[in-house]
Amino acid sequence: MSAIFSDEWMKSFMQQWNAESELTSALADINFSSNIGYGFPDDGQPTGVLVVENGSATSAGAYNGEELNWDIRASEQQWQKWIAKPPGMMGLGTAFASGKMKFKVGDYGAMLKDPRMAGPFIKSFSVMARA
């Protein structure tokens, strides 16, 4: 298994993302396009990046200075916990409120208030489990 958010892992995540019609369709319906960084709280930059255009992932790999719309951070232990058992809305809310999940870029509160985005965000964790 590749290290989480490594270039190889991100490419596998992209394939699993695109295989999940529940995720891609929901995001296509709202014309969701974003550069999403993933990483760890103490690092200066994210480890991996996923580029999404109209719901589908079009590229992924090691972060290489791309401009981000979202930059999501948690400890490696926390990411592994979510990959082993994908969280629900309540678990993610608790993680954010307690500081276990941080958004260096992006508005978590606004995303949660929009069920068209919140549902796919939660779904992305079960997709990570297959990467």
Given a cut of 80, is residue 120 above it in pLDDT? Answer: yes
What pLDDT, in 10s, does the model give residues 53-87? 999 999 999 999 999 999 999 999 999 999 999 99
For residues 31 and 54, the answer to whether their CB atoms sit within 8 Å is yes
Rounded Cα distance, 110 and 108, in Å: 6
Domain count, the chain: 1
pTM over 0.85: yes
**AA letter at 115:** P
Range of the domain at 118: 7-128
Eight-class DSSP state of 69: S
User: Any idea what the CATH number is for the domain that residue 112 is in?
Assistant: 3.30.1050.10
Residue 2 lies in a domain: no
